[in-house]
Every structure is written in structure tokens, then in C-alpha cells.
Amino acid sequence: MNNNEMFQFIEESFEENYELLRLEGGHSLSPQVKKLALEQVKNYWKKLRHVAENVSDTEVRLTLPQQSTPSGRPYTIQGVVDVVKEDDRTVMYDIKTQDADFVRSNKKDYEGQLNIYAHVWQSVREQELDGTSILATGETQGLRRAKQRSFLTNNDNLLEEALEEWEPEVPIDIADERIEGYLESFGVVVDKIEEHCFEAPSIEKINSKILGNKTFAVHVCRNCDARFSCDTYKEYAFNSSRVSNDFLSFYEDYGTEQERVEQIETTLEEEV
């Protein structure tokens, strides 16, 4: 399949998947967001063609049964990954919707999961593994800015340069000696879920920096659907001068101007 045929295949598959998700989930995208999403998928093909062409096993279901939490609850770990075998090397990939900058800055959050999947692959399946990586599908800030600048100046080179620099694959180290610790932390989370401990993190946590100069509140909470009923986020928001001077602005915070326009366009399109 040449590049043009592949792009046509991507467009058709994208449309098919979008329609399916729209009918199943009842959510639509505005034409502009849909166009950007399709571009992002095509950029992935351009950037990760070597990975896509060498995938030997897709959607591999990994299961680690008979685990026990610190409180003695039995549980099973299950995950789905893709595996690539290329030039005598076998690499396991897990796809995440966060952007690559975020994943790189928070590698620790992914190490446990990927190490456990690698452990299952190597011990239960008894197959060698040379590495694991996250494929981060979110758009980085650099890429977003380059797209805007490229559009405003009509200069495609800006986007091409940014695409060149963009690296969506983030390798994660495998450390067999840490498996026990990772499994224990999984068990702690299982206990918390079963005991219905769902309290939000502390105000210190959401004020902490997790990506360059961005705090958890800006990078995560601003995109969280639960933020209007979250006590920690409320405390954070009411500490700002804007909300403390005008408390209604807290409930009017539906994202950026562009996001609001997109939401209105999508809703109007639905009703036509």
C-alpha cells in the first residue's frame, strides 16, 4: 500500500469509527475538531510508520490472576498491549491518550503498569522482551502551537519542523526487581476502590508542578468533568482573585473560548 492509499484507508476507517462511536456514545465532534483529530491520526502514520508496519500482535490481552491485596482481597490484573517484533527485537507498546511531554515528565506513573505487563509476557507467556514503550497519542503543546503558526503564516515548513521534533514514543525501563513493589501498589489501589475511598487529592498536590510550569490543577483538573463538584478544585479556584471576586465565574468555566464555540457548533449540528 503506498502513502496515498494509506491516507485514503485512514480517512475511511476514521469516518467509520467516528460514526460508530457517535451512535454508541451519543457524542459528536465539531467539524473543526474532527478535522484536527483526523490530521493527528495521519501524523501518527507519518511518524510511526515503522512501528505500525512491524506490529506482530495487536490487542494482546495479558492476564495475571490470583493476586491478593494487602487486606487479602483476591484480584486479577488484565491489560491490552501491542507487540512489535523487528530485527530480532521484541518491544511491547501501550497506547495512552496523554501527550508525550506529559508522559515523559511523569514516567513513574507508567512504570508500574508497563513493568507488570512485561512481567506477564515474560513469565507467564515465557517469551523474551527487549523493551517497553508508551505511544502517547495526545497533541503536544509544541505541535499545537506550530499548527497555529503554520496556519496563520501559511508556512507549512513550521509544521513539518515541529513534526520532525515530535517524538510520541516514550521508552519505559523494565526493572524485574521492582515487580513486587508495583504489585503491592496495585493491591493498595484495589483496596481503596473496594473500600470506596475516592477522595480527591490535597490542595498541595493539585498546586504542584507536573509538566514544566503547569500545575496538576491546570493540566489535569481543568479537563476533569468532576471539577465543579470537587472540593479540592473548588478550594483551588476560590483562591484565585477572579473567582473570589465573582463566584459565578467558577460555574461559567467551560474551558477556553474556542472550546465553547466548538461545543455550540457540535450541539447545533446535532439538532439540524
The residues that touch ligand SF4, with contacts defined as CB under 6 A, are 200-201, 206, 220-221, 224, 226-227, 230, 232-233
Tell me how crowded residue 134 is: count the other CB atoms within 10 A of its CB.
22
- The least CB distance from residue 201 to ligand SF4, in Å, is 5
Nearer to ligand SF4, 61 or 198 (CB): 198
Nearer to ligand SF4, 228 or 247 (CB): 228
Q: Where are the alpha helices (DSSP H) in 96-230?
A: 100-105, 108-119, 141-153, 156-165, 179-194, 203-207, 216-219
Nearer to ligand SF4, 37 or 224 (CB): 224
Nearer to ligand SF4, 158 or 220 (CB): 220
Give counts: helices (H), strands (E), the chain: 13, 7
Pairing between β-strand 169-172 and β-strand 209-211 as defined by DSSP bridges: unpaired
Instruction: Tell me, rounded to whole angstroms, the distance of Cα 132 from its chain centroid.
Output: 16
Q: Which of 77, 73, 13 is nearest to 45 (CA)?
A: 13
Nearer to ligand SF4, 148 or 240 (CB): 240
201's grid cell? 487529592
* H helix or E strand, kind and range, residue 232: helix 231-238
Helices 31-53, 3-25: axis angle to 10 degrees equals 130
* Rounded distance between C-alpha atoms, residue 237 and residue 203, angstroms: 10
50's grid cell? 515503522
Q: Which of 104, 127, 131, 98 is nearest to 115 (CA)?
A: 131
Nearer to ligand SF4, 22 or 205 (CB): 205
* Rounded distance between C-alpha atoms, residue 163 and residue 124, angstroms: 39
- The least CB distance from residue 62 to ligand SF4, in Å, is 28
Nearer to ligand SF4, 45 or 250 (CB): 250
Confirm if 61 and 103 have CB atoms less than 8 A apart: no
